[in-house]
Amino acid sequence: MEKYVLGVSGCSGSGKSEIVNQLKNKTSSKLISIISQDNYYKTKENQMIDENGVHNFDLPDSIDHERFYADIMLLLSGKKVRYKKYTYNNPRKIPKTRFISSCPIIVIEGLFIYHYEKISKLCHSKVFIDAKKKNMIKRRIKRDLEERGYDRNDVEYRYKNHVIPAFNKFTEPYKNSSDLIIFNNEEIHSPVKCLKDFLIQEYNKYKKLLS
């Protein structure tokens, strides 16, 4: 059977990665493969630098989207993908090699997946995770301080000067053309259930079309 492809996008801090990972935990491990844009960042020396000398990791060109696309195509052909988990330039962490097996459903997750035309065209359904900006920045600050070892002022600067402008230009324009918009402002249970119900419904429709 051909693979069913679900895209999941949204702003940084919207909770898309957590929602997608919980979705996988609540379904059969042999049903869903997740491939995340986050693991395809170019190295720091290949990132754009803004007018204040700060590296900007929040642009479509920050991602090696050709390698990202190539690995998605490997999954679609039934092959396993090998990658190094991105550590967000945290010097205290050593990148670990991970593998993604090819399952019937391929979930592509990331900020710019609908902006990359070749990747966007692969999606049978598109989901957009939305949230209030105050919640998104609060999550981003918490995550970057605790998990990535960033300085608070640095996080706030990047969110204001990099994240939001890039979101407004390269991510939000695809919101209203998505098949489903999920709001993630409070507890995570409802957004995960909403995504799971939608995915099962659309996947079953897809299987019927192929039969």
Say what the pLDDT of residue 211 is.
75
Per the document, the length of the chain is: 211
> Model-level pTM?
0.92
- pLDDT, one tens digit for every residue, the chain (211 residues): 699 999 999 998 899 999 999 999 999 879 999 999 999 999 889 999 999 999 999 999 999 999 999 999 999 999 999 998 876 666 667 778 999 999 999 999 999 999 999 999 999 999 999 999 888 888 878 877 766 667 788 888 988 999 999 999 999 999 999 999 999 998 899 999 999 999 999 999 999 988 7
Distances (CA, A) of 27 to 125, 144, 192, 208: 18, 29, 11, 20
Say what the pLDDT of residue 87 is.
67
- 124 is written with which tokens? 């049978």
Say what the pLDDT of residue 88 is.
66
Sign of the C-alpha dihedral computed for residues 131, 137, 139 and 140 taken in this order: positive
CB neighbourhood size of 1 (10 A): 8
| CB neighbour list of residue 162: distance below 8 Å, 6 or more residues apart | 50, 54, 56, 57, 58, 59
**What whole-number distance in Å separates Cα of residue 136 and Cα of residue 57?**
17
Say what the pLDDT of residue 124 is.
98
Say what the pLDDT of residue 89 is.
62
Specify the residue for token string 């007018």.
51
Q: List domains and CATH numbers for the chain.
A: 4-210 (3.40.50.300)
82: exposed, middle or buried (C-beta count within 10 Å: 0-12, 13-18, 19+)?
exposed
Write out the E strands in the chain: 4-10, 32-36, 48-49, 55-56, 81-84, 97-100, 105-109, 125-130, 180-183
Say what the pLDDT of residue 176 is.
96
**What whole-number distance in Å separates Cα of residue 202 and Cα of residue 124?**
9
**What whole-number distance in Å separates Cα of residue 72 and Cα of residue 186?**
32
| CB neighbour list of residue 108: distance below 8 Å, 6 or more residues apart | 5, 6, 7, 8, 35, 37, 72, 119, 122, 123
In the DSSP assignment, the letter for residue 53 is: S
Say what the pLDDT of residue 134 is.
87
